[in-house]
Amino acid sequence: MSSRKAIGVNGILIVTILLVAFVSTASAVAMLIVTPDTATSGDFVAVVGTGFNPSETVTINSTVSDFEIPIQNGKYEYSLVKLNISEEKTSFSFNVKKVNDDMVIHGQICEDILGMLVCSPSVAINTTSYGFIFGYDAANKTAQVSRGMPSHTGLYNIEVTGTAVDGKVFMGITVNYEVETNSTGGFELVIDTFGIPGGVYTIIAEGAGGSADATLSLEGQPDLVITDIWYENNTICYNIKNYGTARADASHSALYKTVFLRYRLLMRYKASDSVKALAPGESYNGSFPTYDWTCRPPADTVKVCADYNKEVAESNENNCLEKELVCPRPDLKITAILKENGKVYYNITNEGEASSEKSYTGLFIDGKHTASDNVKVLAPGESSNGSFSFVCSPPNNTIRVCADYKNNIVESDEGNNCIEEVWDCLLPDLNITDIWYSGNTIYYNITNEGTASSGASYTGLYIDGKFKASDYVESLDVSSTSTGSFMYYDWSCSNPPTDIIKVCADYDSKIAELDEGNNCIEEVWNCLLPDLNITDIWYSGNTIYYNITNEGTASAGASYTGLYKDTWLRYRIYKQYLVSDWVGPLDPGVTSTGAFAYNWTCTPPDDTIKVCADYKKWLIELNESNNCREEIWTCP
């Protein structure tokens, strides 16, 4: 309950002063008088105290207990509208019984500024803040909230909400404020009962000089308010709520709509709707089904008035809400896209509230518009399917399909017209995974690592950068591997000691692939050649012997080993060829011993003897520089 000092409320104050004078002469005991003691919500009630100590602080406590508040869908909601807190030394508290521990306070403070009611934004509070303190008695299922002194003065709009435990919820309200007595120990107040629920209030005044109590029987008044207006298809709907403190009997709401008449806009009556009786805090959703609403683009202004024919006496008869309703519009949305058999398929749905005109859907690939498709008229909720031709550009494409891409249709949501996805191309990807040789034939493995089968292709062989041969490859399914060879090319080393071997899938680039950069494999191979090496020389008697070893990677054919000796001729020394020895074929790693049919006689003091494998250079070898061995032999 709220209060303000009794200034300017002359009728009540005169009666109160006469009563105080009478009581003061009869007794000095603390007393409390309420005038009138029976009132209607919205009346001003005078509260007069006498018999207290002069100039002392008296605490006034006003309480109403256990009035029932309405429940809807398991939730309770109760509003105190324009609760007048005119003194800073005011506190108040609420307790709600048979509820869960989820109370929320929605509050705002309003002030009258130059005849206009200006309100702060509504704040939702469910924890201790803004001076509110919350509590919960789990044993009794009772939620409490209190607001201590000092309080900001003004008109409070307070809504208390939460969930109920069972079928009935009861609420109690207490308001405390402090007043100072005058020199004779008395005080006088006027209580503004607007917005206070009906009930029997116990008012207690307590001070050092004593205490007194009185009761006030307050009859509440309903207050019907239209809180919202909207439409569903062609029907105008609304919400009506009883913000008052008493039950509102059955009533009727009316619908008005702006119309053009003689070059001006007028608000004209269109339909009415029956409203059931509403308890304090109870709300109801109604509609005007007898009026088939057709919106005049871009928007219509409508007005709904509660109790339009004044069937219910209310605390506030300002019952109408006016609202601009944006006309129903279509809302075209691409809901799905998929690719199949070289096409992009899409689904378009009108998720709006009005039919769409014919439109165009656009296809964008990697940000570029590539195609459009006609779309028929779509009723609300109706869908249609369309398609575009499509060729994927490896390795992937960003596909964007947009409804009404030309923006010819005004929609309720222009931001949901497109759907975008990144698609990997369905293409083969031929990769040479291994190469090797057997004998003089080069082999390879080719694998399709793509997402589609490949057609027939050709694999190319390159040696030291030069094309040498090709091999036919049949069609390969995804993840399939095939082994091929260049059987008509007899490989022998062309650039000893190594060859650079490169094998390329689809070497003539006849197949579109996901990755054209991974078709080849390149390796450096040691050449398959012999390498004859004289590993030892010695003599026995007059015969010179030698060991010859094939240190290469291939068999050596027959060859000749040559014998040389240093000889003086015309004042210089030169290597004199003496004789040769035939050497049979040698496999890799095989050593053979040979001897020269030459009767060696040492020329004192020593001879320089040189033996060279394949001295006629008949063989191609891995290393042509290691064929000879030279030693100096001291004569026996």
The pairing of strands 320-326 and 299-305 is antiparallel
d(CA 444, CA 423): 32
Show the DSSP H helices in 467-610 as ranges: none
For the record, the structure tokens of 617 come out as 């250079």
Give yes or no for residue 507 having a pLDDT over 50.
yes
Mean pLDDT, the chain, whole residue set: 89
46 within 8 A of 35, measured Cβ to Cβ: yes
Number of H helices, E strands in the chain: 1, 46
Tell me 478's DSSP state.
T
**Burial grade of 78 (CB within 10 A; 0-12, 13-18, 19 or more):** buried
**Which string of b and e fits 491-509 if b means at least 16 CB within 10 Å?**
bebeebeebebbbbbbbee
Give yes or no for residue 315 having a pLDDT over 90.
no
Which pLDDT belongs to residue 10? 40
Give yes or no for residue 20 having a pLDDT over 50.
no
503 within 8 A of 432, measured Cβ to Cβ: yes
For 538-542, the CB contacts below 8 A with 24+ separation are 539/600, 539/633, 542/599, 542/600, 542/601
Show the DSSP H helices in 225-311 as ranges: none
400 within 8 A of 418, measured Cβ to Cβ: yes
For the record, the structure tokens of 634 come out as 């001291």
d(CA 25, CA 586): 150
Type of residue at 353: E
For the record, the structure tokens of 81 come out as 């509208």
For the record, the structure tokens of 564 come out as 């040389």
Give yes or no for residue 39 having a pLDDT over 70.
yes
459 within 8 A of 504, measured Cβ to Cβ: yes
Beta bridge partners of 337: 346
Residues 6 or more apart in contact with residue 560 via CB below 8 angstroms: 580, 581, 582, 583, 614, 615, 616, 618
For the record, the structure tokens of 480 come out as 């399939």
**Burial grade of 190 (CB within 10 A; 0-12, 13-18, 19 or more):** buried
Using omega within 30 degrees of 0 as the cis cutoff, is the peptide bond preceding 497 cis? yes
Which pLDDT belongs to residue 166? 81
For the record, the structure tokens of 600 come out as 């060696």
Which pLDDT belongs to residue 2? 38
**256-269 average pLDDT score:** 81
Task: Compute φ and ψ for 54, nearest 5 degrees.
Answer: -65, 145
SS3 assignment, position 19: helix
List the end-to-end C-alpha distance of the chain, in Å, as a whole number.
141
DSSP track, 36-85: SSEEETT-EEEEEEESSPTT-EEEEEEEEEEEEE-EETTEEEEEEEEEEE
The band of 262, judged by pLDDT with boundaries at 50, 70 and 90, is low
Give yes or no for residue 492 having a pLDDT over 60.
yes
Q: In terms of pLDDT, which residue wins out, 478 or 4?
A: 478
- Let me know how long the chain is: 636
362 within 8 A of 372, measured Cβ to Cβ: yes
Show the DSSP H helices in 329-430 as ranges: none
Dump pLDDT digits (tens) for 605-629: 999 999 999 999 999 888 889 999 9
291 within 8 A of 269, measured Cβ to Cβ: no
Beta bridge partners of 199: 218
Q: In terms of pLDDT, which residue wins out, 125 or 381?
A: 381
425 within 8 A of 397, measured Cβ to Cβ: yes
d(CA 93, CA 87): 16
Type of residue at 389: S
Residue recorded with tokens 């054209």: 516
Give yes or no for residue 375 having a pLDDT over 80.
yes
Which pLDDT belongs to residue 266? 84
260 within 8 A of 300, measured Cβ to Cβ: no
Beta bridge partners of 419: 401
Type of residue at 88: E
The band of 123, judged by pLDDT with boundaries at 50, 70 and 90, is confident
For the record, the structure tokens of 425 come out as 């191309």
SS3 assignment, position 544: strand
DSSP track, 204-241: EEEETTEEEEEEEEEE----EEEEEEEEETTEEEEEEE
**455-466 average pLDDT score:** 96
Q: How many CB atoms lie within 10 A of CB 127?
A: 9
d(CA 522, CA 72): 79
Residue recorded with tokens 């008869």: 317
Q: How many CB atoms lie within 10 A of CB 568?
A: 10
Dump pLDDT digits (tens) for 548-597: 999 998 899 999 999 999 888 777 888 899 999 999 999 999 999 999 99
**320-330 average pLDDT score:** 90
The pairing of strands 210-219 and 38-40 is parallel
From 106-110, 113-117, 213-217, 231-235, the region with the lowest mean pLDDT: 113-117
For the record, the structure tokens of 197 come out as 């629920």
User: What are the Cα distances from residue 279, in Å, to 191, 223, 313, 563?
Assistant: 25, 10, 14, 131
**Separation of CA 482 from chain center:** 45
Give yes or no for residue 22 having a pLDDT over 50.
no
The band of 30, judged by pLDDT with boundaries at 50, 70 and 90, is very high
Give yes or no for residue 14 having a pLDDT over 60.
no
User: What are the Cα distances from residue 37, in Å, to 24, 33, 213, 214, 219?
Assistant: 20, 8, 12, 9, 11
Beta bridge partners of 341: none
475 within 8 A of 456, measured Cβ to Cβ: yes
The band of 342, judged by pLDDT with boundaries at 50, 70 and 90, is confident
Candidates 85, 93, 84; CA nearest to 171 is 93
Which pLDDT belongs to residue 26? 40
Which pLDDT belongs to residue 107? 83
176 within 8 A of 3, measured Cβ to Cβ: no
The band of 528, judged by pLDDT with boundaries at 50, 70 and 90, is confident
d(CA 121, CA 157): 11
The band of 8, judged by pLDDT with boundaries at 50, 70 and 90, is very low
Beta bridge partners of 460: 470, 504
